[in-house]
Amino acid sequence: MGFKMGIVGLPNVGKSTLFNALTKTAAAQAANFPFCTIEPNVGEVNVPDARLDKLAEVAKSASIIPTRMTFVDIAGLVKGASKGEGLGNQFLANIREVDAIAHVLRCFEDGDVTHVEGRVDPVADAEVIETELMLADLESIEKRRANLVRKLKGNDKEAQQQDRLLAMAQEVLENGQPARVSEVADEDAKAWKMLQLLTTKPVLYVCNVSEEDAATGNAHSAAVADMAAAQGNGHVIISARIEEEISQLDDDEATMFLEEMGLEEPGLDRLIRAGYDLLHLETYFTVGPKEARAWTIRQGTPAPQAAGVIHGDFEKGFIRAETIAYDDFIACGGEQGAKEAGKMRAEGKGYVVRDGDVMHFLFNT
């Protein structure tokens, strides 16, 4: 399982530059893993993980298959999007389909790049988009509650739960807060997710700074960091121009370029990791002579469901999972060494997979 992140932002904030960097990076990765352009505005990139390369080296795997992340360059937004202004309807429809929102904010000064509001204020920009999403949610909720009236009169239990949750979201939104701040009981979690409200999507603020501020950020990105912390959202500092330049270089040239800029790694790597943290994702591995492969799961996933990410039959017929912690696999020189050292564990259906586990699943067909 990968995940899908929508890139949003006002005009002239660097959203397209960032997406172009992502797609060029993906195209450069095609030798290792085919780049998939599902639509002109959708692209998939490899999720960087140094552990996978190390595992492949130890196991002498013939190929390396990373897990992938999908980015969606969502149509630009303007004030009034909730009422269909600009490409508003397309914007809102695309956002419903993503797992999280990467909100690109302009945190750079440049007199040659006009800001749609005539000023550089990333916090205010964030509020524009958040407001449009909240207005769209309120309109959606009102329509949906009106459509539930007949079922509610018939004491339909599912309709009653849906209406109760919609009413809860409506109250939060009318108080000027996104629906994601609502406290949802465990028994309502599935139904809540099915509502597909725009403001329940987790948000990662992407501070697009100038090249000279890429390593340290600036006053604008600091303001965004404060806002993100207050909301419980994440943020990452990136120079979209630098990322676009890096995407056109080979590995050695990119490393030298990053060193010159005082950066340890590409900002896109930080963006992907921040996205993983935001969605509470983690990685386990399958390793053998044919391939070393990474698989993405949500934190807290039991072993049978983790096996199901590979194939549904693995989950249905799950018997046990032979499991080695990443550090033990490396320290023992691979699977055989781990077995001999007593570091391989046989885990049953109740085992919760941990980040970095190297796993082999046994199942009935």
12 is in an annotated binding site: yes
Q: Which two tokens stand for residue 15?
A: 């959203």
Q: Is the dihedral of CA 272, 274, 280, 286 positive or negative?
A: positive
- The letter for the amino acid at 309 is V
Q: Which two tokens stand for residue 281?
A: 């994702």
- Of the CA atoms within 13 Å of residue 270, those in its CB half-sphere come to 19
How long a stretch of residues is the chain? 365
Tell me the C-alpha distance between 283 and 293, whole Å.
10
Tell me the C-alpha distance between 288 and 63, whole Å.
10
221 is in an annotated binding site: no
Tokens 């990791």, residue? 273
16 is in an annotated binding site: yes
Q: Do the bridges between strand 3-8 and strand 100-106 make them parallel or antiparallel, or are there none, so unpaired? A: parallel
Q: What 3-state DSSP class applies to 265? A: coil
Q: What does the angle CA 322 – CA 328 – CA 334 come to, to the nearest 5 degrees?
A: 75
Q: What does residue 211 show for φ and ψ, rounded to 5 degrees?
A: -60, -40
Q: What 3-state DSSP class applies to 86? A: coil
DSSP 203-232: EEEEEE--GGGTTT--HHHHHHHHHHHHHT
14 is in an annotated binding site: yes
Q: Do the bridges between strand 345-347 and strand 68-73 make them parallel or antiparallel, or are there none, so unpaired? A: unpaired
CB 141 within 8 A of CB 166: yes
216 is in an annotated binding site: no
- Percent helix / strand / coil, the chain, rounded to 5: 45, 20, 35
Q: What 3-state DSSP class applies to 65? A: strand
Can you say which residues are annotated as belonging to the binding site? 12-17
Can you say which residues are annotated as belonging to the binding site for ATP? 12-17
